[in-house]
Amino acid sequence: MSEYWGSMRRTALLLLTLPLTLLASPSGRAVPSPAVLTAPDPDRAMQDFLKAYWDADQGYFLAWNRSAPFARPSGSGPVGGKYTDFWWEAQLWDLVLDAAEREPGNTMYRSLIDDVYTGFVRAYPDWRNDFNDDLGWWAQASMRAYRLTGNPRYLQQAATLFDSIWPYWTDASGGGVLWRRSGSNQKNVATNGPLVVTAVRLYQATGEQHYLMRAQQLYAFVDSHLTDGQARVYDNIENGELRRWDFTYNVGNFVLAALALREVSLDPTERAKLLQRATDSTDWALDNLTNAGIFLNEGTGDGGGFKGVLLRALHTLSQTPGLDAAVQERYRQSLRDQATQVWNQRRAADGLIGPDWSAPHEGDVIESLAAGTGVAALQLASPSLPARIVVGDGRYEAENSVLEGVKSSAVADGFSGRGYVNTFFQSGQFVEFHVNVPQARRYLLKLRYSAGGGEARRTLTVNGASRKLTLPPTPDWATWRDLDIAIELPAGSSRIRISFDGEMNSRGWLNLDRLTLGDLK
């Protein structure tokens, strides 16, 4: 990816520790969803997306919706960033492939496969790029296009790209392909995971044994050096430092790699192990990278596309032979929930979807990568979904919510999820939860917290209405307590903010673990 989007990715990678001011309503007020619930419509979502972003004359997707008066501060895509860059366009090509797979007889989607590729080659005829992950995404998508269309140019392009990337494998840090061709020794899941899938597909298409051997090498590196060996998938290793960042696309890439390799493994024990690794990582993500079962908001820029990779992994798992029926149904239900939630939160004016799937989008600009990822959720779910509000289990982890000025930690024992929010003691800091409920009525809200330094006072704001909140002390920071609060909520989406407000006499230190809404039936 480019220097600009590389830096944007760095911002996204620190979501758990940096402020996310742009993701929250300034006042904590609710933003209206579409007034009437309707059944999700994947074709309508795709048409709205194409209307906003597809430039048929250029054969290329715009970086942001054409109705928005917005210019990126800098951009590596064509026309100074007006159009998407390497990685974004590859992800949006995957979206077109999702739609074509869902509706094989749709001639428009079939034509779009060729049109996107042709437009990209026109913009980048020499495929020059310093980032191996960008090239790898195109290699993987090219193999997918080949399997869908049978067009040999896609097979040839995938082989050419893969063969140009492979020389950047080094034995340092246990192996793996370098993220960049110059200036960095980083090796990450985003580069090596998709290459596993591409190598397997090339082996299946050509029968050339060296592709299978390279797929095995790549997977072994990722599994041994970029996971915890059980379920958690990390991000990268650089200068000898393992960065244990949690992102949905890392899990998705690892799962897709394991499933692809399983397809060509002849050893029943190895096949079982690969499937177990895939399901364990997927289950970990569903338990830890969600709020109330909906994938967390990973920000704008590159982060807006992360969820799409995990969606495709869920879809693949839901159709994997040999998987327990109950497990498959869990994955299908998650896909149904993601798609329904996305549809409910689309913007009423133009049908576009922002990066936060738990609340309506604010502002004019919605970047095409984020919008396309939401549309992908609708393409990958069941073909027919009813109109409903998705409420999940009512569990909203603080570390997965909108954070302003606070940080997350996992030092004190006894927390739920991946951690909790701390360094929460100054005016202007807040945690905002985006919740969804089925009916307009009173609900029981439980705040799980610790206040080992004594009583803490904060402000509770529900859809713009504020009140003071007193949280009694706990014996120490490893002892957690629930504070029960009765609140009135409208049907659908609401914003609940816990903030430090000096003008309302907030004081004391506080660790905030999660919010739970009860009686959701």
pLDDT in tens, 445-495: 999 999 999 999 999 999 999 999 999 999 999 999 999 999 999 999 999
Tell whether 115 and 238 lie within a shared domain: yes
Selection from 401, 385, 498, 389 nearest residue 440 by Cα? 389
Output the pLDDT for position 181. Answer: 97
Helices (H), 322-423: 325-344, 368-380
Helices 189-206 + 132-149 axis angle, to 10: 30
Q: What CATH number should be reported for the domain holding residue 493?
A: 2.60.120.260
Q: Rounded to whole angstroms, how far apart are CA atoms 495 and 466?
A: 12
Q: How far is CA 477 from CA 17, 45, 515, in A?
A: 20, 47, 18
Please count the structural domains in the chain. Answer: 2
Residues found in the chain: 521
- Return the closest-CA partner of residue 394 out of 462, 506, 494, 464: 494
Positions in the chain short of pLDDT 50:
2-24
Residues 53, 367: contact at Cβ < 8 Å? no
Q: Are 63 and 195 contained in the same domain?
A: yes
For the CA atoms of 365, 3, 82, 348, the dihedral, rounded to the nearest 10 degrees, stands at -20
Residue 24 counted as domain residue = no
Do residues 400 and 323 share a domain?
A: no
Q: CA nearest 225: which of 205, 243, 246, 201? A: 243
Domain that holds residue 298: 42-380
Q: Is residue 390 part of a domain?
A: no
Out of 380, 404, 422, pick the residue that ends a domain.
Answer: 380
- Look at residue 32 and tell me if it is in a domain: no
> Domain boundary at 353, 380, 407, which?
380
Is there a domain that residue 399 lies in? yes
Q: Is there a single domain that holds both residue 46 and residue 117?
A: yes
Token pair of 284, please? 């970990």
Last residue of a domain, one of 347, 380, 413: 380
Does one domain contain both 177 and 289? yes
Q: Are residues 171 and 99 in the same domain?
A: yes
Structure tokens at 184: 């960095």
**Local structure of residue 180 (DSSP, 8 states):** B
Domain co-membership, 283 together with 203 = yes
What distances in angstroms separate CA 349 from CA 35, 361, 495, 498, one per listed residue?
Answer: 11, 11, 21, 30
Distance of alpha carbon 44 from the chain centroid: 22
Cross-strand partners of 488: 442
* CB neighbour list of residue 50: distance below 8 Å, 6 or more residues apart: none
**Token representation of residue 67:** 């109705």
Give me the pLDDT at residue 242, please.
Answer: 98
Give, in order, the Cα–Cα distances in Å from 126 to each of 122, 123, 191, 322, 355: 9, 9, 20, 43, 32
- The answer on 415 and 370 residing in a single domain is no
Domain membership of residue 231 (yes or no) is yes
